[in-house]
Amino acid sequence: MDKPEDLNWVREQPDTPDPANDQTLATIRKFVRERRKADLLAALKMWDPLDVMQMLTRMRLKYARKLFQWLPANPSVRVIAELKPDFRSLLMQESTQQQLTDILDGMDPEDAAETLNSFPDDIAELLLDNLPDASGVAEAAAYSHDTAGRVMARRFVALPETLGVEEAVAAIRSEADRIRKIFTLYVVDADGRLVGTVGVGPLLLAQKDQTLGEVMATDFIAVAADTDQEEVLRIARNRDMRTVPVIDGDGRLIGRITPKQLNRIAVEEASEDMMFMSGVSPESEADDSILRIVKGRLPWLLAGLVGASVAASVVGIFEDQLAAAIVLASFIPITMSLAGNAGLQASAVAVRGLATGKVWEGDILWRLLKELVAALINGAVAGLVLGMLVLVASLFIEIEDPLNLVIATSLSLLCVTTLAAMVGATIPILLDKLGFDPAMAIGVFITSSNDVLGVLIFFLMATTFYLG
């Protein structure tokens, strides 16, 4: 049994291990050692959740802890516990709770807090009560989701500014087992307030008779516990920081954002932005139920339907113009497509600039001016190309008054491209100012609004220059 599809589990009675599962456990341990995460999860997703939980309670702790972290993080445990009495009874068993407590104890407090959220409230409380570091997990859970306080690590090295360099090096060595990687030493005053930082390299090169207060850097950047994690990532990138200290309202050091957590934030934010751009709820997961899929996508589809309906209504308003010159209908998809693409391009650049911190308060007007000039050039070129195509087509197809049609369509593309680009560049900035994720501007909102504006401008131009 060395293939994922060969893994199977015989349902066990409470506290009665079945020898038939021993080979399966051995194979799973082998997969964990070999880090065959994808193969293992592909096999386990076919299992009943009750069997998965039984398997975890039978495994040695170090393997169970790793596998538990691999399992998808979603509300399935909470839901399954409500729907399946057998699954809930297994969670309530003392042996299961002890195994889960041991697994959670080996995780960082912020990860443990996130995992506890997936369990039913009463079981989560029991597990929390049995955790040796219950206070740290409870403290992490107290902070809002996606904030520095929720994701920060509470293990760090902080020493008083009066301590000598030699003593500081000895202190770092003593903490090596507790903290795997130490990049920065934090210097605090007598009240625990952060007053400076010292890199490990400069510390080792300092004179032994110097104090930390003499060698520390005082131009450090720290974030408050309620700072949004996306802002933390932006600060870390702009200042090239490997770790970011977190302080409370009084300036006392309470944690740090590690490189691992910064990478995790980057992945989460990129995934969230991608969801927004696709018109999907950021909470959507690959293994969502049908009901959850519908709830996550239907609002966005309905929003797009509203936008499309408004655009269709605009077309209906100009029904007489279409009847008078049916050729105009050929240009509607061209106008809508160009408006949507121009808006998406400008909004994508704006969202990226906001995410990386490259869009500053003082240069917003300059950036919008650049977008305006670029949009005018793009619109002029697109209008010129379309006009040439219309003139060429008029040589082979009978088109009434082709010159005026060229003027109408070319001017409409110029105006549509310019307006769509300005809307796309402005809306993300406005959303950011209002405290919303600027990525929400991309997708349904920009596409629908620009479709409506594009169709309206096209018919106004056609009415003025072609049918007037």
- For the chain, the distance separating the N- and C-terminal CA atoms, rounded to the nearest angstrom, is 79
Q: Which two tokens stand for residue 380?
A: 């002029």
pLDDT tens string 38-54? 888 888 877 887 788 88
Q: What is the mean pLDDT of residues 371-394?
A: 89
Last residue of a domain, one of 145, 174, 207: 145
**Least-confidence region, from 266-280, 281-295, 323-337:** 281-295
Tell me what pLDDT residue 203 has: 82
| Residues 382 and 417 grouped into a single domain | yes
Q: How far is CA 317 from CA 140, 263, 362, in A?
A: 56, 51, 42
Whether 153 is covered by a domain: the verdict is no
pLDDT at 112 over 80: no
Q: What is the DSSP letter of 326?
A: G
- Compute the chain's Rg from CA coordinates: 30
CB of 244 closer than 8 Å to CB of 262: yes
Q: What percent of the chain has pLDDT over 70?
A: 82
Q: Residue 309 maps to which CATH number?
A: 1.10.357.20
Structural domain for 434, as ranges: 290-465
At residue 75 the predicted structure's pLDDT band, cuts being 50, 70 and 90, is very low
Looking at the structure of the chain, the number of domains it has is 3
CB of 386 closer than 8 Å to CB of 394: no
Q: What is the mean pLDDT of residues 103-109?
A: 77
CA proximity to 183, closest of 139, 238, 137, 240: 240
Q: Residue 97 maps to which CATH number?
A: 1.25.60
| Residues 26 and 61 grouped into a single domain | yes
**Least-confidence region, from 99-113, 286-300, 435-449:** 286-300
pLDDT at 416 over 60: yes
| Residues 305 and 238 grouped into a single domain | no
Q: What is the mean pLDDT of residues 260-271?
A: 77
Q: What is the mean pLDDT of residues 303-321?
A: 75
Tell me what pLDDT residue 1 has: 54
At residue 380 the predicted structure's pLDDT band, cuts being 50, 70 and 90, is very high
Tell me what pLDDT residue 281 has: 58
Whether 227 is covered by a domain: the verdict is yes
At residue 260 the predicted structure's pLDDT band, cuts being 50, 70 and 90, is confident
| Residues 309 and 177 grouped into a single domain | no
Pairing of the two strands 223-224 and 194-199: unpaired
Whether 197 is covered by a domain: the verdict is yes
Q: Over 408-421, what HEC string results? A: HHHHHHHHHHHHHH
The structure tokens 């007007």 sit at: 365
At residue 180 the predicted structure's pLDDT band, cuts being 50, 70 and 90, is low
Backbone angles phi, psi at 355, to 5 degrees: -65, -35
Q: Residue 188 maps to which CATH number?
A: 3.10.580.10
Measured distance CA(282)–CA(259) in Å, rounded: 24
At residue 342 the predicted structure's pLDDT band, cuts being 50, 70 and 90, is confident
pLDDT at 381 over 90: yes
| Residues 78 and 173 grouped into a single domain | no
pLDDT at 447 over 80: no
pLDDT at 450 over 50: yes
Measured distance CA(95)–CA(15) in Å, rounded: 8
Contacts for 385-392 with beta carbons within 8 Å, 24 or more apart?
386/334, 386/410, 386/413
| Residues 319 and 451 grouped into a single domain | yes
| Residues 20 and 130 grouped into a single domain | yes
| Residues 371 and 230 grouped into a single domain | no
**Least-confidence region, from 75-79, 83-87, 431-435, 447-451:** 75-79
pLDDT at 289 over 70: no
Whether 9 is covered by a domain: the verdict is yes
Measured distance CA(373)–CA(380) in Å, rounded: 11
Tell me what pLDDT residue 271 has: 67
Q: What is the DSSP letter of 60?
A: -
Whether 276 is covered by a domain: the verdict is no
Whether 193 is covered by a domain: the verdict is yes
What are the start-end ranges of the H helices in 84-120? 85-92, 94-105, 109-116
Q: What is the mean pLDDT of residues 116-137?
A: 76
Tell me what pLDDT residue 385 has: 92
| Residues 319 and 449 grouped into a single domain | yes
Last residue of a domain, one of 121, 145, 169: 145
Whether 279 is covered by a domain: the verdict is no
Q: What is the mean pLDDT of residues 356-375?
A: 75
Measured distance CA(30)–CA(159) in Å, rounded: 43
Whether 275 is covered by a domain: the verdict is no
| Residues 245 and 303 grouped into a single domain | no
| Residues 262 and 299 grouped into a single domain | no
pLDDT tens string 203-213? 888 888 888 88
pLDDT tens string 157-166? 888 888 888 8
Measured distance CA(456)–CA(314) in Å, rounded: 6
CB of 362 closer than 8 Å to CB of 370: no
CB of 165 closer than 8 Å to CB of 139: no
Last residue of a domain, one of 90, 117, 145: 145
CA proximity to 150, closest of 164, 137, 131: 137
Measured distance CA(261)–CA(248) in Å, rounded: 19
At residue 442 the predicted structure's pLDDT band, cuts being 50, 70 and 90, is low
Q: What is the mean pLDDT of residues 152-158?
A: 81
Tell me what pLDDT residue 126 has: 81
| Residues 326 and 447 grouped into a single domain | yes
Q: Decide which of 443 and 226 is more confident.
A: 226
Measured distance CA(306)–CA(74) in Å, rounded: 31
Q: What percent of the chain has pLDDT over 90?
A: 3
